[in-house]
Amino acid sequence: MADALAEAKAQKIGLKSPADMVLGADQVLEFDGKPLSKAESPDALEAQLRQLRGQPHKLHSAAVLHHENRPIWRQVSTATLWMRDLPDAALSAYVTRNWSEVQGCVGGYQIEGAGIRLFHRIDGDYFTILGLPLLPLLNFLHDRKELP
């Protein structure tokens, strides 16, 4: 799903500028084998965090490079995150303090900020969690001599 979304984003812009390389990226949170959408309100985020607490979930991050009306490179990377089993009051306080920063984030957290405190274990690449498998992208661009 993340791969299809990333490709659609790259293609949309790539069709307007076929000579340019266009990068599309997206991320999908998988919990219990199903995708979990971004919370639309603080109450919805609290409900999601209560569902995730004490459990692992996966973040699938995809990137697709589009050039000359076709994808020329793609990568899907996955990270697994284990959320602490926090009490309702702690989750509520987290949402109240951080809603403005995390309302557009899948899972309702940013590990580069206060959201890191929600977790006791993370397996996977930092950039995958941020939403872009950066190292594989840089390797591809380096191998093509697109980077100085």
Q: Which candidate in 3, 26, 123, 143 is catalytic?
A: 26
C-beta separation of 116 from 41 below 8 A: no
CA distance 66 to 23: 6
∠ Cα 115 62 7 (to 5°): 135
**Edge-to-edge strand order for the sheet containing 56-67?**
34-36, 22-31, 56-67, 70-83, 119-123
Is 26 tagged catalytic?
yes
Active-site annotation, residues: 26
